Structure 1
Amino acid sequence: MSPFPDRRVQLFRMEAARRQTQRQLDIIQRQITRRMTALIPTLQPRRTGYRGGKPPDPRAFLERYRSNLTALTAERQPEIDALSRKLMRQDRAISALRERFGLPSEGAHPAPRHIGPT
């Protein structure tokens, strides 16, 4: 029996583990987005100020939005960082295995996405 199929199985498992790690990062991103969506109504300015002739300041809303997004992201940042590092290690291991055994690339993996405020 040739070791080639064993290497393919190992590569398949490594790629499956990488996809799972990426899914975990995507879940965190969706959770942060969902929490921010739920917070938007509380970030809106009170309507009473507009009756006095002064329109609400849109920059104030953006500042509140960004500060809340930063806070939510900061809560999850250690988990995000750990998963991002794990994803990079998995990418390097997959690349090394492909290179070492001359296995063909089946599509390049995108770089890990940074989750957080810009």
Structure 2
Amino acid sequence: MSTSANHGLQLLRMEAARRQTQHQLDLIDRQITRKMTALIPLIGRRQPGYRRGEPPQPGAFLERYRANLAALTAERQPEIDALARKLARQDAAIAALLARQGPSLEQARVAAAAGGERP
């Protein structure tokens, strides 16, 4: 196997690892969204004074929503930060490999991808 094909395979592996890292970040985001969706009915019920004839406070729900969202995000923040740093390193490594190898690497990547998918 030629070196350009090796570089093409290396680029494919690097891009696959980057997609996996991005998938993990997206998964965390979906988990936080799912938890917040489950909390919305509980957040909306708190209306002190509503039964005593006082009108509901217009910004109270949004304030409680933001506070709960911040708390859930803070729980996962170290993991989010670590994955974001990893993603930045992967992006930099892919960019460096592309800059080093130039357009020939893109052709090698296409050839390596086509070679792995035989009909």
Normalising to structure 2: TM-score of the pair?
0.82
Residue 56 of structure 1 aligns to a residue whose secondary structure is coil
CA distances 1:25-83 after superposition (whole Å, capped 9, x unpaired): 00000000000000111101346733432221121111111110000000000000000
State the 4+ residue runs in structure 1 displaced beyond 6 angstroms.
Answer: none
RMSD (CA atoms): 1.9
In structure 2, stretches of 5+ residues that fail to align are 110-119
Match of 2:33?
A: 33
Match of 1:44?
A: 44
Relative contact order, CA 8 A, sep 6+: which one is greater? 2
Match of 2:116?
A: none
Conserved? CA contact 1:40–1:65, under 8 Å? yes
2:80 corresponds to 1:80:
yes
Q: Among the aligned pairs, what percent are the same residue?
A: 68
Conserved? CA contact 2:15–2:94, under 8 Å? yes
Conserved? CA contact 1:22–1:87, under 8 Å? yes
Match of 2:61?
A: 61
Number of equivalences: 106
In structure 1, stretches of 5+ residues that fail to align are 107-118
Larger Rg: 2
- Paired AA for residue 42 in structure 1: L
